[in-house]
Structure 1
Amino acid sequence: MARTLTLLGCLFCLLLSCSREDVSTRYAITGLDVSRYQGVVDWDSVADAGHHFVFIKASEGWNHRDLAFRANWAEAGRAGIRRGAYHFFLPHTSVERQLSNFIDLVKLEPGDLPPVLDVEKRGNLSSAELVAHVRQWLILAEDHYGVKPIIYTGLNFYNRHLAGQFDEYPLWLARYSHREPVTVCGRPFQFWQYTDRAASPGIVGAVDRNVFTGTVAQLEALCVPYPANHHDPLAIFQ
């Protein structure tokens, strides 16, 4: 009897592991997102592992800046990884001061991914008030950088507070599962953060892993554009 139960347990674990295959095998374009919590990153090893892009935390609120941003930003670029920077939005802090904090730190170049606004908190704001604040940041950021920012948020937060809004902006959703996020409004997403417990060469400990749902050409089209008659040097690495 005990042997039978053991065999059944092993079979169950095998079936479970098969049903939860690595999400990245279903998508051609994968990437990471990092902050100071990943410590010192060996970006050459990250590049050699085949990651196509990385989002790097830059700022939070009106005065916080990630201590590892400058090093991560420079080294990711040197290693030839397509890079993007994100700002963690605080709902009760001046939108203009938050954007100024980000702009003073992040100097995007042609070929970089658009700025990202990380929206995870509502505070005491109504959903309508939050939407108005987020929209203000997005409009001002687009005016400054000349490219539409990306919105990052969790699936549940999006469905409760942001669904039906900002359809003109690329959407990056977090859902830690092997099952794709499904929005209540049917809005498709462009990026999916599917785990916060991935492993990667060049990084000690766990790291967030993401996929892009489109093609290489579609990823390039999201980025800060190059001047006319200039070629994107990272295109050869994708």
Structure 2
Amino acid sequence: MPKKKTSLVPGPKSLLSLLILAVIGFGTWWWYKSTLPDFVRYDAFGIDIPTEFSIHGIDVSKYQDRINWEAVKEMEVEDVRIGFVFIKATEGLGNMDACFRRNWEKSAEAGLPRGAYHFFLAPKSGAEQAENFIRRVELKRGDLPPVIDVEQSYGVSGDKLRTEVKAFLDRVEAHYGVKPIIYTNVDFYNRYLKDQFDQYPLWVAHYLRKDRPRIARNWAFWQYSESGNVNGIRPRVDFNVFNGDSTDFYNLLME
């Protein structure tokens, strides 16, 4: 008896299933596309900039060398200008960035809202690193909250890292009277800090693809490029945006 041939033409139920999957797939793609920020090329800044944010900023350290802060403040291209700056202050137990004092003073003289950050070394005491930061940084009304930059584990366990980060945050918050900002990248946050530090404002790095940071929680700042140009700064510089309007930004500043 000859075998019954199998039809290669899908039946009505199969066609319906394929149609449903196609609609779902298209809907997911359209939602994802519609939530992506629009980027526009600004040749003067040398990068593509997400246009749906109104407050733009940079972060600097000694690697940007001697900065002309008046030129930074005066640069404006169409609707984009530098509205804030994060400045590296300290690292580890006793180091201070070689350009911190000058950057801290001159950025304020130029009228830029400024924030100071500490580069965290996970194997070292978080409380002692906090003291290093506190000794060097005097925050005033109108400054951004203090920042911990934690992006490497240096081989320590997750529990050890979280313990020392919490010690740093607690000491700094007690001293300045405000919750510090955590700076890190998406993968590091999800691996080491997720759930236990969600109550802190987040400054997140994500610049390999043109989409929003791939993170479930809210974020305050987004570092989206490491290769921008700004008048008054010779080397390349990191670019950031604030996730909110001018009222939100004002409410974040030190009182």
TM-score (norm 1): 0.83
Q: Which of residues 196, 210, 225 is equivalent to 1:178? A: 210
Determine helix, strand or coil for the equivalent of 1:26: coil
Pair 1:40-2:71 in alignment:
no
- State how far apart, in whole Å, the 2-side matches of 1:163 and 1:23 are: 28
- State how far apart, in whole Å, the 1-side matches of 2:213 and 2:155 are: 26
Question: If each structure's strand is expressed as a fraction of its own residues, which one has the higher value?
Answer: 2
Check conservation: 2:223, 2:239, Cα contact below 8 A.
Answer: yes
Deviations 1:139-196 (A, max 9, x none): 110110011100000111112111222121100000113211111xx10211000011
Correspondence for 1:11: none
Pair 1:28-2:54 in alignment:
yes
Superposition map of 1:5-154 within 5 A: 21=40, 22-49=48-75, 50-154=81-185
Check conservation: 1:146, 1:224, Cα contact below 8 A.
Answer: no
- State how far apart, in whole Å, the 2-side matches of 1:129 and 1:92 are: 8
- State how far apart, in whole Å, the 2-side matches of 1:169 and 1:64 are: 25
Pair 1:197-2:197 in alignment:
no
Structure 2: stretches of 5+ with no match in the other structure: 1-37, 41-47, 76-80
Correspondence for 2:238: 208
TM-score (norm 2): 0.78
Identity %: 46
Structure 1: stretches of 5+ with no match in the other structure: 1-18, 226-238
What is the number of residues matched between the two proteins?
205
- State how far apart, in whole Å, the 2-side matches of 1:181 and 1:165 are: 19
Structure 1's consecutive aligned runs of 4 or more residues displaced over 3 angstroms after TM superposition are none
Cα RMSD (Å) of the superposition? Answer: 1.3
Correspondence for 1:232: none
